[in-house]
A and B are shown apart, each in its own frame.
Chain A
């Protein structure tokens, strides 16, 4: 018997999912434009290359769909009619759809099938299907893909589409930033990719569909207005990352551009708005949501500065998914609101404080010894000392041979380098090595070459490091 209420709100789970798909549509179009159409128009991609992002999307969705079909058919022995009904309530395309937006451009189709199967079958169906999974399925798929085949994909070209591979890029903004431990100047961090405006629009290298903060922001307002997502999560998540990186930036003498750079890169907007708000894997209670978001922010910043994971969004969300039941427990405690929030909030503050301090300490140590510098070989023959060293540049290690006589460097020869050709050519064209050697007594005053800052700086640093090693420079 019906026990009421006898009126129901004109909203269904299906409608919410439809709105979610609508919000994703501009991102899908942008993905196709940025990674397919634009390289094709500029002549960097073949027709196949142009269609490749769509192909990945299609493969992801189809695999996802059939994984669920497979689950109901083989494991649950259901009839076709039953399966049709099940799939209508289970929204089988979403894990594959989300997954295809967060994988690197150069993911082979076969690996996409693999990842999408993992996402849907293991990440969602084995937990009991729609509404029962503990972790975000798409992130599980991406996690498996990147840990098992990340190196292989990187060899295939990683995150760069054909246009980016040929023009601007050597690393995604955050892996580039990690080269200098996340702390550098506007010129080293932002300038190689354009301006912050490009970061906001999303015309920077990154995973297929997650680069455009602008479109994610539009989706955020649309979905919040339609009450599809829990708006508190993205707001507090992005806010926390902004505040923490603002503090770290200020402590290292950087301006407002720095937190903006951190917030706009690494798919944070996409992760915060679409992944962290996945209703099934995020807290129900309001306080739980706020705590979840703050801890997500702390975890992301920790990953970026103190672990080898440059982006940190994926890892953070998967980690925090695990704590959702506990956060909801805190959120549902009865009693005075202040009391129940105070402890976790203090924990948040404490973690943030530790994090900022750690990052600053790590950077402070950097000045004393340059970890990007390494001596491979040192020989002394008569008056001459020969050093073979490596110094980290833009595209990996630069191998350099130095010959010293007395208190002076006589010759300097680059043995091996992986810098972007155009930039390194600029360095060589300017006879920069000669300039450096001629001014080695006052090496610190020598300017780097604008436009090839990182490469030229690496050469300058290598000289300083060798001179320090010999005790000539302090």
Chain B
């Protein structure tokens, strides 16, 4: 298995769980090709359909209130009128088609970081194996962990229903090794479900990458998507959201987000509404210390937050406040560490060297890069190798 062992630092955010489900405003970003079907200034309820995205997912209002469409900024702003909606547990059985349209209309997409529409993943050919990804291989993040701790039985029930509806033969819950609490809980709860197995995967980054998981659990390789081999990999929070849609007809309107990092004053996991401004939640959790980088996502793949604009998305796993880095880039000594540790088995140092050389780039295949960031992390000369590879990727697309 290729990967690096990172310090987990999970304990920082595990102390408490907070709720911030009643923000004064939510903001939903609207990209160019998305369709808005609601008129300006109309009053909506929680879960009302506001429009539809390019990829077919509905845009749903996370709260009740008044909608303002600020076209110049490409956002829908909803002012909260603090009206609550109750969801009741139902017990209905679905066919595959009903199920697919249900999760599509519930707006469910991948909650592990990619944000890929879930119904597209499951509508494909025959699925025989479901891998539930609860690895959370990036440091600091405990959103999935918190989700399991709260809803373990519910999640396993959901997995069982999914297996019934989609006629899946076996399923695996992949968790990180050396998490005794999680392992014990899941193993006790799955004891009555013989087809649901709990697998421990090595404590390596990027073990939560689909390809790594499929390779480790099923010992097989695929080209583009795991469905080629009849396998589907879903994040455990996504499974939970699917369960909420199945049993309560509750769409994906909220999630757990980890607020952590050395510079976070009050690290915790927070239940938040999709579309809440990050700055608003940061103020609620007492904010961050001076001289820090605020990051959306994990420390390896995350991006710096734009405090004025960025809001919580379904795929936002965490907001981190980390000490600012001021490493100086030095000359590449060609130590080969980036190449040795690359999970995609490409040679980042060579790609960086040849980033303006089209014929060499064709051979070096920068498009295989998954942007995991190991090359930049491991570089002893502190070179931003991943940035160079991403540039090369762009260069390659132009051709």
Contacts and interface: CB of A to CB of B under 8 A. Distances in A.
B298 to A, nearest CB: 9
Given A132-B331, A227-B337, A279-B335, A6 B293 contact: yes
B380 A11 contact: yes
Given A3-B384, A4-B376, 14 more contacts: A1-B304, A5-B301, A6-B320, A7-B377, A8-B382, A12-B382, A15-B380, A89-B330, A130-B331, A279-B336, A284-B336, A285-B347, A331-B347, A334-B364
Contact of A334 (B139, B304, B365): B365
Contacts of A89: 330-331
A7 B322 contact: yes
A13 B381 contact: yes
Contacts of B336: 230, 279, 283-286, 289
Contacts of B255: none
B332 interface: yes
Given A9-B378, A284-B334, A2 B293 contact: yes
Contacts of A285: 336, 339, 347, 350
Contact of A7 (B6, B304, B347, B382): B6
The interface centre, meaning the residue of A5, A9, A329, A333 with most chain B CB atoms within 10 A of its CB, is: A5
Contact of B327 (A8, A333, A334): A8
Contacts of B240: none
Nearest to B329: A89
A129 B387 CA distance: 24
A2 B347 contact: no
B380 A13 contact: yes
A467 B59 CA distance: 106
A131 B331 contact: yes
A206 B376 CA distance: 42
- Specify the main secondary structure of chain B where it touches its partner: loop
Interface in B296-334: 299-304, 320, 322, 324-325, 327, 330-334
A280 B299 CA distance: 30
Contacts of B373: 4-5
Interface of A: 1-9, 11-13, 15-16, 89, 129-132, 227, 230, 279-280, 282-286, 289, 328-329, 331-334
Contact of A4 (B4, B303, B331): B303
Given A284-B349, A332-B364, A9 B333 contact: no
Contacts of B332: 131
A339 to B, nearest CB: 14
Given A4-B295, A4-B302, A7-B299, A284 B381 contact: no
A7 B379 CA distance: 11
B15 interface: no
A1 B350 CA distance: 24
A257 B368 CA distance: 49
Contacts of B333: 13, 16, 130-131, 279-280
A8 B368 CA distance: 23
Q: Which 5 A-B pairs have the closest CB atoms?
A: A131-B331, A5-B373, A284-B336, A279-B335, A6-B299
A286 B347 CA distance: 10
B340 interface: yes
Nearest to B337: A227
A293 to B, nearest CB: 13
A245 B275 CA distance: 71
B363 interface: yes
Contacts of A12: 380-382
A8 to B, nearest CB: 6
A38 B376 CA distance: 49
B380 A7 contact: no
